[in-house]
Every structure is written in structure tokens, then in C-alpha cells.
Amino acid sequence: METTTAALLSAAGRRISRCSASSIVWREVRGQHKLTIDGCIPSTKLPRDWSATSKTFEAGGYKWQITYEPYGYGNSWSDKYISVELVYGGRQQTDPLEFTFSLLDQAGKPVPRYSRSTEICFFNGDHKRKQGFHNFIRWKDLEESGCLRDNRFAIQCDITVIKDWALNSDVNNGGGAAAPPPARVVVPPSNLREHLNNLLWKKQGTDVTIHVGGEATFDAHGWLLAARSPVFEAALLSATKDDKVPGGGGRRRMEIQGVEPKVFKALLHFMYTDALPEMKERDTTAMAKGLLAAAHGYKLQRLKLMCEDMLCKRIEVNTVAENLVVAEQLGCRALKDACVEFISVPGNLKAVMETKGFEKIRANCPSVLIQIFL
């Protein structure tokens, strides 16, 4: 009896060991990016081959940019189209995907009439790096759509990537192991940054009042300021009774000098979100200089490097002298090298010497002049 039972179990085991299973699971991973064109009418006066590219963003597991061309397609001005294209930032071929460009109304909602979608397509780093619509929308239609206000309009790009996971389960003669089950939940990206930003501007639970230059007042959270900056930490820990707001229930008070209110507001945004707020291109250089000095003073190294990188990309004849002085004073080696490299070009050197800022170089950075002229 025992022998018969053992034989049956052995046969059953052999049958189980020969079983196998596999599955192919398809999932759609979506991403979205909003691009605002500010000053779009002046952009139509630029050279016909001009274009602009957005900052890099992530969607569907890949890096992307959006290219905007005011002269995308058409011969006469009344038939002139705006062109928008999605630019892939990787080298390997992507998973199959589809994307949609939509004009946004004043409420930030896509306008179905002015939405253009692709069929399923692929991108790669060679001949399919850029795809989009040369005739996305006519200027005439944009002006009549009601979506253009204050010389500004916005476009939304929705990307849907189709991911596949081939999952095999093969138990062979008792020696195999089952593959893990497919991922059934797509975890969204972290929204901690959004929540902390709301915490700041809604003033929920703030316990510090900061007066900036006698012009503006900000409410913040002492625990976050102390965690982000050793300078704030030291100031908050050493606060005396005189630094408390009368009747404020232990609320602390701080005075900030030497920083413009708009710069300090951007500084607070970074401290809460670890990112810079959106800013107009014409304000970027001035804001970067102010934030660079503030970041240096409050020992926010990442912000300092971000501002240094922004200034390195915006070196011009009329700004290089001031950038060089700032780099010398704040110990920004990369910015200093970029400025010296720009000035060392013979044509640039002559133009810089004719600017008022050149005297700042002579007064503050004489060693740089020696380096250039040697």
C-alpha cells in the first residue's frame, strides 16, 4: 500500500513539474507637459529658420523636449502655421507610443478642435528623433480662438507609452522557479514637491515671520528652513526672546537684508520644492545672479550650482563683465572659466573692452586680465 501511494505521488510530482505558464502584459504609461509661449507675436519677427526648445521633461520613462517654430508651414501670412514637434532625448528605440498636442483655453483645458494626435509610432536617436506637426495651427485661427491673451498662449503635450512585460513561469523537472507576477499597479511620480509648495503659500502651520528689506513679509516653517540651510538653522536656534513676535505664541521673527523680495520668494520656493519657480526668459539672468548670491550666503550648494549653470548658458558681451566679477567674488569656478573663454575670443574681447562693465573687471579681477593678455 505504501509503495503504491509513493508511486502515485511521484507520478503526480512529475506531471506538476512539467507544467509551465507565461503571460504578456500590456500597460499604458502616460505623461504630460505644458509649454507656454510668452511673447509669441515678437517671435514672428525672428528669422524664418528660428526655433526654440523647451526644457527637458520626463514622460513614460523617457526624456523629451518640445520644439516651437512660429514659421512652421505655409506661404502667405494668412495661411502661416505654427509648428510643434516632440524631440526624443535618448538613443535606444522607444516602446511604441502615441502623443497629442493640444491648444489650451484660458481655463487650461484642451481645445478639441485644435488638438492633433499621432498614430502609434517609435522614436530613436537616429532618424526618428523628432516628430510632430508642421501645420499644428494657423496664426489666424489662433488669434480667433480666444486662447491667445496678453501675447501668450499654451500648448499641452500628452504622451502615452505602451509598455509590455513578457513574464514566464517555467517549472522544469522540479528545478525551476516561478517568475514574479506582473506589476498591476502603476505608481505615479512623487507629488511631495507640490504638497510642500502648497504648505508654504497657504501658510499652514507656519511659525516664523521673515521681514525682507523692510519691503515684504513671508511666513515659513522653522523646521524646514533649519533642515535645508545651516545658516537658517543657526539663526533660528539662537533666537532670543526679543526675536519672538509679541502675542504670537512663540512665533519667531527674522530680518533679512541685502536680498530683493522677489529673489527671496524664489529662494523660499527652492527650499520647499528643490526646484526653481517658472520665470520669464528676460528675467532669468538677473534672477540667477540674485539667487546665486543668496544661495552662497545661506549655503544652499545645489541652488548655487543651478544658478551658476544658468549664467554659464547666458554669457553675452554686455553681461560677461558682471558675471565674471560675481564668479570671482563667490568662488564660481565654472562660471569664471566660461567668462574667460568668452572674453578670450579676439572679437569678443574688443567688444567687452568698450562696455562700462570692463572697468569692473579691471578693478575686481586684475589677475583675469593678465591671464587673458598673456
What local confidence, expressed as pLDDT, does residue 42 receive?
A: 65
Confidence label for 222 from pLDDT (cuts 50, 70 and 90)? very high
CATH 2.60.210.10 residue spans of the chain: 24-166
Q: Is the pLDDT of residue 340 over 70?
A: yes
According to CATH, the topology of domain 316-373 is 1.25.40
Q: Which part of the chain is CATH 3.30.710.10?
A: 192-314
Task: State residue 295's pLDDT score.
Answer: 96
Distance CA 103, CA 137 (A): 9
- At residue 173 the predicted structure's pLDDT band, cuts being 50, 70 and 90, is very low
pLDDT in tens, 270-317: 999 999 988 888 889 999 999 999 999 999 999 999 999 999 988 888
Q: Which residues contact 304 (CB under 8 A, 6 or more apart)?
A: 292, 295, 296, 330, 332
The topology (CATH level 3) of 24-166 is 2.60.210
Query: Average pLDDT, whole number, for the chain?
Result: 82
User: Poorest-confidence range of 9-13, 91-95, 362-366?
Assistant: 9-13
Average pLDDT over residues 125-144: 86
| CATH 1.25.40 domain position(s) in the chain | 316-373
pLDDT of amino acid 1: 54
- Across the chain, the runs of DSSP E, i.e. the strands, are 20-38, 52-53, 57-59, 62-73, 81-88, 97-104, 110-117, 130-138, 152-170, 208-212, 216-220, 252-256
Q: Which of 169-178, 285-294, 361-370 has the highest average model confidence (pLDDT)?
A: 285-294
Q: For position 256, what pLDDT does the model report?
A: 92
Share of the chain above pLDDT 90, in %: 36
pLDDT bucket at 16, cuts 50 / 70 / 90: very low
pLDDT of residue 131: 92
Q: b/e string for 146-183 if b means 16 or more Cβ within 10 A?
A: ebbeeeebbbbbbbbbebeeebeeeeeeeeeeeeeeee
Most confident range (mean pLDDT) of 151-165, 202-216, 253-267 is 253-267
* Assigned CATH class of 192-314: alpha beta
Model pLDDT for residues 246-258, shown as the tens digit of each residue: 555 568 889 999 9
Q: Measured between alpha carbons, how far is 181 from 183 in angstroms, rounded to an integer?
A: 7
Q: Considering only residues 135 and 155, tell me which one the structure prediction assigns the higher pLDDT.
A: 155
> Of 74, 162, 83, which Cα lies nearest the Cα of 116?
83
User: How does pLDDT run across 30-88, given as a tens digit for each residue?
Assistant: 889 999 988 776 666 666 667 889 999 998 889 999 999 887 766 555 568 889 999 99
Residue pair 64/86 in contact (Cβ under 8 Å)? The answer is yes
- What pLDDT does 191 receive? 83
pLDDT single digits (tens) 348-363 = 888 888 887 787 777 7
Given pLDDT bands bounded at 50, 70 and 90, which one contains residue 3?
low
